[in-house]
Chains A and B, each alone.
Chain A
Amino acid sequence: MSRLADMLKDAGVVAFFALLVFAPFIGVQLGSNLRGALTLAPTPMTLAVAVAVVFCARLAVLTLAQHRAAVTLPRMPVRVQDYLAPAMLVLGVVLPFLPFLPNAYIDTATLILIYVMLGWGLNIVVGLAGLLDLGYVAFYAVGAYSFALLATNFDLSFWECLPIAGILAACWGIFLGFPVLRLRGDYLAIVTLAFGEIIRLVITNWVSLTGGPNGILGIPHPTLFGLKFTMSADPGTFAGFFHIDPTPRQHLTFLYYIILALALITNWVTLRLRKQPLGRAWEALREDEIACRSLGINVRNTKLTAFAIGAMFGGFAGSFFATREGFISPDSFVFMESATVLSIVVLGGAGSQLGVVLAAIVMAGVPALMQSLQIYRMLIFGLALVAIMVFKPRGFIAQRRPSVTLGATKRIGAEFISQGRG
């Protein structure tokens, strides 16, 4: 009985704090009258409902906590994990050919794959090399703008620009990586964030080159060996060449496969690099920089390659983004994008390739499907970020095989991998 009283008291205290927190924002509504002066309308009912919801939620949490022994979250069996990756790959390859799937879903899947690719690219920097980068969107922007500018000014095609955009982004990775070589942890995070913002500000304000806030219009779509995807059935188009009816689905499917291929290349390169000296040096750097230095690893080059390769994939993804949209503006390269990609990496369980895919589906797919909720979308996104961190601070896949072992492979918990410490 006293336990119930304790619970009620606890929930009451929480509800009281909720009342204080909600009162100025849910309890009153700002408006303006005809003369433009601010008015205030009390909305006590909404406030009461919000506080009651918090009270009940707290009671529910407390009740659950008492039965915690009985309710343990099911741990994903290792065997399932082994089959999940190939299953998702197969699903990814056949997805556009599922006849019942509406076009909008292919589009969403393409968006998710962009985030998967960005996640895998950033994973090299954050997950492998342990360098906390909050300005990854800078390289995404460099890739997108290099392609857009080259394509609109010099009439180059997507395939010609893609490598150039990647190289330019990699150069920016090195250029921005140099000054921050000595920085660690949170300081590195803030400086990279600052770089991301600087690049966005330059793009916004250098109107003569980038069009400023108006962005760049008329970026060409990619072609398949010169065949365009348009709704006319001319000989020079995909539909005309193969004598089939042009549908929007063909273009969407083509875009989908481009990003799928790009993402898989990113994954493949990462997996290969992890087995090679460079990848091992990254992982060693993540674990202990001083030990690395003592063992004769060139910390500067190791860090710069991580920045460069991560940035290069970000640049590829940016080019693809530009060619898919046909229009880019600085609004697409705000800090929120960096935060989303970093959350994808961390939620996935920094360092896990499969985790990134799962996290990208959750972080990019769910908001895209929630378009109808519009203004609540970002609120829910933020709440989910906090909730997932509180309940699963190590991400979805919190264990992985070490890349290199002596003798038999054994699985280690991620709690032994001190990500990016120091």
Chain B
Amino acid sequence: MAYALQLLINGVTLGMIYGLIAVGYTMVYGIIGMINFAHGDVFMIGAFIGLIVLTALTGITSIPLAIAAAFIVAAVLSGVYGFSIERVAYRPLRGSFRLAPLISAIGMSIVLENYVQVTQGALDRAIPPLLPGGVAVMRQHGFVVQLSFMQVAIVVVTLAVLAVFTWIVTKTPLGRAMRAVEQDAKMAALLGIDTNTTISLTFVTGAALAAVAGVMFLLYYGVIGFYIGFNAGIKAFTAAVLGGIGSLPGAVLGGLLIGLIEAFWSGYGPLAYKDAAVYSILAIVLMFLPSGLLGRHEVEKV
């Protein structure tokens, strides 16, 4: 029981990180119908920018200030990355045949991964735990369920970021434009919405969320490498699909489920097959529930 509770806590924390990345996937898929394969690598870029900011500010400012700066700088610069990637690799291919943007995105993912490897080296980079300590939630038969402050912080930050994001999507003109372009880009353009800007800003928002997730990953695990984007990206995409692609609450729900599945599998199943379990779930969900948990069922038009 205590063990399961601990796994639940770990799973929710991990799920929050996946959920934030998944939101970026689902938004881009919703708005231009492509799998932004490089999104996982933007998450990695965000984690690295956070690491660099933290290293630069260590000893100069207080730790909470440094962490806040890491989040903001990573989100802003990753937003620039998202914008640039869309401009360079995807926009020229809009309206081209369907495989072209996917190949371009795979190329971009390879570029980002190797760019970080070439510029910052192939070594794993580690930081000391910045927010140590926690509270014991429960004790049972000598097993102590730990809820670390970092886990609380991750959940709080994720919920805050998602609240802001939901407000942007539902209440602001930008969010209205995004939803309009998602439903029908051509009609939105006819009604005076600047679709190009809207799509760019969608990429910027998604990248910023991924960067926040990246910095949280860095703070939580303490170790990052140039290769973390691929796995996180696939899992987040799985989360987006599980929740129903195109649905924002679905992405977060999917992220939580993937995080929980991963945590419980690590706790009770063979650890080596943890990733295989997530991939199998992706396949099973798509086979039996192609539109995900909260997704709209697409009507096939002839």
Contact = CB atoms under 8 A, between A and B. Distances in A.
A202 B121 CA distance: 30
B114 A379 contact: yes
Interface string B221-253: 000000000100010011001000000000000
Contacts of A195: 279, 283
A238 to B, nearest CB: 41
Contacts of A202: 273, 276
B55 to A, nearest CB: 5
Contacts of B279: 194-195, 197-198, 201
Contacts of A347: 103
Contacts of A267: none
Given A21-B80, A25-B116, A132-B99, A40 B34 contact: no
Contacts of B286: 180, 183, 187, 190-191
B42 to A, nearest CB: 12
A386 interface: yes
Given A17-B80, A21-B84, A343-B106, A205 B273 contact: yes
A24 B49 contact: yes
Per DSSP, chain A at the interface is helix
Given A23-B77, A24-B48, A38-B55, A339 B98 contact: no
B290 A187 contact: yes
A191 B282 contact: yes
Contacts of A187: 241, 286, 290
Nearest to A390: B92
Contact of B52 (A30, A339, A375, A415): A30
B107 A38 contact: no
A198 B280 contact: yes
B127 interface: yes
A339 B118 contact: no
Interface of B: 29, 34-35, 48-49, 51-52, 55-56, 77, 80-81, 83-84, 88-89, 92-93, 96-104, 106-121, 125-128, 230, 234, 237-238, 241, 270, 272-273, 275-276, 279-280, 282-283, 286-287, 290, 300, 302
Interface of A: 17, 20-21, 23-26, 28-30, 37-40, 126, 132, 179-180, 182-183, 185-187, 189-191, 193-195, 197-198, 201-202, 204-205, 290, 335-336, 339, 342-343, 346-347, 350, 375-376, 378-379, 381-386, 389-390, 393-394, 415, 418-421
